[in-house]
Amino acid sequence: MANPNPTEAIEAIASAIGSVVYIDVAKWHLYLNDAKLHTLVAQRLYPLLVDNDISEDRVLEVLRQIPVKVGGGKRELPLLELLPMHCQVDLMDVLEELQHQL
């Protein structure tokens, strides 16, 4: 993925995280690609990758700023609150790997 255009890079990021990271609700796993959140997350994380600023604090802040509607839209929760800790770790691993490819 050396020097891809931004659209290709975002698609690659979305693909890489979409089937690895999931929302956990009552022990049900809803992967980001199934929840249609993988592209949004990739778009928000792409600038961090380009700026070589993939720190855990920065990534968690991005996840904290992505609202997820629950209960038919009656309530919104930050994406960060819906991700199990090991998914956060997996996301960091994927992002660090992708950072080396950009």
pTM of the model: 0.91
Please state the rounded mean pLDDT for residues 8-24. 95
Cα distance between residue 29 and residue 5, in whole Å: 32
Q: Predicted confidence band at 3 (pLDDT cuts at 50, 70, 90)?
A: low
pLDDT of 94 strictly over 70: yes
Residue 72, pLDDT above cutoff 60: yes
4 close to 12: Cβ distance less than 8 angstroms: yes
